[in-house]
Each structure stands twice: as structure tokens, then as C-alpha cells.
Amino acid sequence: MLSLHTNAAALSTTAAVGSNQKALSTSMTRLGTGYRINSAMDDAAGLQIATRLEAQTRGMSVAMRNTQNGISMMQVAEGAFEEVTNILMRMKDLATESATASATDDDRTAMQSEFDALGSELANIIGNTSFGGEKLFGAVGGPDGKLSAALTFQIGATSDETMEVDTSTALTGLDTALGGISAYYNATAPTAIGTEIDDATAANGMIDTIADALDDVGELRSQLGAASNRLDHVYNNLSNMSTNTTEARSRIMDVDYASETANMTSKQLLMQASTSMLKQSSSMSQLVLSLMQ
């Protein structure tokens, strides 16, 4: 029907222009931002899922740093105990040497002097080894550092994902053992030369005492090593979960440039065609005038 008041072709073409313009704007926004979803209007359900996946991924990323920091702290402690082991072995050597009949009193005095110095260094290592500015083992004679109580590591993105490491019992036992080896280990160490290996009988008894202390150190190092190994496996598992979760979120949020570029090209052509047709539709009114001539 020809009408001056209503141009059906123009109305339909105008609607098509608006629809194509909106689609073209959406494609350009996606290509400009790199995201398929730029607002909840684009995909409400997808945005909700992607947000949950991102929260999980970010939590796992922080947990991965936690595991690495935990391993570093364990390695600091384990390194300290490695040096404690070396010192105890040297002290055992001195005790063994002093216990033999061929050693003279002057020899034993020199050995005792070195033994005392090593006892002081044990106190220094146990009392001052720290990580991040906080002591790990605490004060000599009464450990109250980080490892003197159970430690809880956050190893995942949820509250349930924790790991507890408790070396307090082994550390207390080692502290007691070291105190029984050298008077110079105690916080109020004497200034006079010690008596632990100043005669053959005392030196002979000290051999087994130091051997027991070495066992205590070995137990602690074993616990720290086991905890570090577990944290390393936690890190590897988190890395795998984080990688795959990130890929899942990417499939929801990220734009497919090949597909969206083709879509934008299609909408540009439709915009050109519909704009051209909108111009042509205005000629429909001229047909009414031609009837009136």
C-alpha cells in the first residue's frame, strides 16, 4: 500500500540499521577489549561462572606463593641444622680424641677450649636463626620461635586447604640435648673453661651424649625435609589446577578474534547495505506524487 503517512520499507530498514549498528558496536567492543563478555548483558551466566573461576585461580596463585615461601623457610631451618650437625660431629671427634689414653692434659685443655667455642656457636645458631625477621627456634633454653609451635600453611583457595607442620616436640628435645652437651650452650654460659671433655672418663661419656643429639637433629631435619617435599608436590598440583582453570575461564571470557573479525566484517557490510536501502526507501513517497500528476 502506498501512503504518505507510513513508509513501511523505511521503518523496516531503520530497524535493520539499528540492529546492525548494535551488533557492529558489540563486535568492535569485543575486538577492542579482547573479551567476549564485557558486561553481564553479554552473557550473565557465563560471567558468573568466569568470576568464580577467576576467584579460584587467584586464590591458587597466592597459595602457590605460600608454598614456595614455606619451602624457603624450611630450607633456612634445615640449613641451620645442617651446620648444627657439622658442629656436633666435630665435638664428637674432640670427645673421642680426648677419651684416649695417649692424650695429655694440655691436649685436653686445648680440645676443651675448642669444645666450648663450638658450644657457644650452637647457642648462636639456635638462638638467632631467623626468617623474615622472626626467629625460627627462639631463645636458648626455651624455644619460642616459629617452629616451637605447630605451623599452619594455607595451601589452597578454600578454607579447608591447609597443611600443618609440628616440629615443636623434636625441637624441645634437641634444645634439652644440646644443653646437656656444653655449658656454653646455655643462655648464662660460664666464662671459665668447661669440663665436658677435660678428662678421659668425661670425654668417653660425652661420645654417646653427642651421638644421641645427632639423632635428634636428624629427626628434625627429616620432619622439615618431609614437609618441604609435600609443599613442593602441593605447588605442582596447584600449578596444574591453575593452568587448566585459567584455560576454562579464557574459553568463557576471551574473544575468538577469527570468529569475531568475520562477524564484524559481516555487520559492516549489512550496515552499508541497510543504509543504502534506507536512502532508497525515501523514494517510495515519490510514487504517491506521481499518481497525482
Distance of CA 123 to the CA centre of its chain: 32
Query: In angstroms, rounded to a whole number, what is the distance separating the alpha carbons of residues 48 and 261?
Result: 26
Assigned fold of 47-142+175-252: f41 fragment of flagellin, N-terminal domain (1.20.1330)
Task: Give per-residue pLDDT as tens, 161-187.
Answer: 999 999 999 998 999 999 899 999 886
Given phi > 0 = left and psi -120 to 50 = alpha, else beta, which region is 147? alpha
Please state the domain extents for the chain: 47-142+175-252
What confidence tens digit (pLDDT) does each residue in 110-154 have?
A: 999 999 999 999 999 999 999 998 999 986 555 578 998 999 999
* Torsion sign (Cα): 100, 101, 105, 106: negative
Q: How far apart are CA 13 and CA 24, in angstroms?
A: 16
pLDDT beyond 80 at 55? yes
In sequence order, the β-bridge partners of residue 165 are: 151
For the cut 60, the answer to whether the pLDDT of residue 198 exceeds it is yes
Q: Exposed e or buried b for every residue in 212-251, given b needs 16+ CB within 10 A?
A: ebbebbebbbebbeebbebbeebbeebeebbeebbeebee
Alpha helices by DSSP H, the chain = 8-33, 44-98, 105-128, 168-179, 200-253, 257-281, 284-291
Determine the Cα–Cα distance for residues 146 and 64; give it in Å rounded to an integer: 21
pLDDT at 288: 62
pLDDT value for 11: 67
| Percent above pLDDT 70 for the chain | 88
The angle subtended at Cα 25 by Cα 21 and Cα 29, nearest 5°, is 175
